[in-house]
């Protein structure tokens, strides 16, 4: 089948749809949905989010240099979309979505209780790239929902049914097709790494 060339653009899909919670120094807080996010470094643990300067949350991040990345689930799809299309300038997104604020351990921004993972972040650098400014941040604390921990103290995010975003649509992640390194494991081990 032939391929058609598009103009240059962001076609790197799917990506995680995360809710980023922020606060200013007066204690006002907001939630913004971000799809332009990603892992940057393992040691120290770092990630990035890209936000348009005109967004209401932008000045809060600039002021405190902190935010929390909250991973989303299929159950949170409505709230995730709502927090991406409504502005905190005229809407209390906490009240409108019924999401619950929890105090973070290291930053001013609150955690979202309903999210299975919360990553507290401190901004190290801001790159003004064009339509979006990228906040490069260090992860200073991680919180995980004990409901997804097993007896071996292993966290199973897949059980929370994470949410992904692809070209204007939200998707669940579906079936696991393999684990890292399964293609080179000894014969007899399946995609999960377990013996058949």
Residue 22 placed within a domain: yes
Name the one residue in this structure whose structure tokens are 């003004």. 128
Domain that holds residue 108: 15-184
pLDDT for 183 equals 86
Q: pLDDT-derived band of residue 146, with 50, 70 and 90 as boundaries? A: very high
Does some domain include residue 4? no
Domain membership of residue 189 (yes or no) is no
Distance CA 148, CA 39 (A): 22
d(CA 81, CA 99): 13
Tens digit of pLDDT for each residue in 78-136? 999 999 999 999 999 999 999 999 999 999 999 999 999 999 999 999 999 999 999 99
Q: What is the pTM of this model?
A: 0.91
Q: Domain total for the chain?
A: 1
Domain assignment present for residue 6? The answer is: no
What confidence tens digit (pLDDT) does each residue in 45-94 have?
999 999 999 999 999 999 999 999 999 999 999 999 999 999 999 999 99
Cβ neighbours of residue 6 under 8 Å, at least 6 residues apart? none
Report the CATH number at residue 124: 2.30.110.10
Peptide bond just before 32 cis, omega within 30 deg: no
Please indicate, yes or no, if residue 152 is contained in any of the structural domains: yes
Residue 38 included in any domain: yes
The model's confidence at residue 188, banded by pLDDT at 50, 70 and 90, is: low
């Amino acid at each position: 089948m032939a391929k058609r060339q598009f103009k240059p653009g962001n076609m790197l899909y799917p990506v995680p749809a995360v809710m980023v919670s922020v606060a200013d120094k007066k204690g006002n807080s907001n939630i913004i949905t971000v799809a332009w996010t990603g892992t940057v470094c393992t040691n120290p643990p770092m990630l990035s989010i890209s936000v348009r300067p005109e967004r209401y949350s932008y000045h809060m991040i600039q002021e405190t240099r902190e935010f929390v990345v909250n991973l989303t689930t299929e159950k949170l799809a409505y709230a995730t979309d709502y927090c991406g299309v409504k502005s905190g300038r005229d809407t209390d997104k906490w009240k409108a979505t019924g999401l619950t604020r929890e105090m973070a351990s290291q930053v001013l921004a609150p955690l979202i209780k309903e999210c299975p993972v919360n990553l507290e972040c401190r901004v190290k650098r801001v790159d003004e790239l064009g339509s979006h400014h990228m906040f490069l941040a260090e992860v200073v604390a991680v919180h995980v929902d004990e409901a997804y921990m097993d007896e071996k103290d292993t966290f199973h995010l897949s059980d929370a049914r994470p949410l992904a975003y692809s070209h204007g649509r939200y998707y669940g992640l579906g079936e696991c097709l393999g684990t890292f390194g399964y293609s080179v494991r000894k014969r007899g081990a399946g995609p999960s790494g377990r013996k058949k």
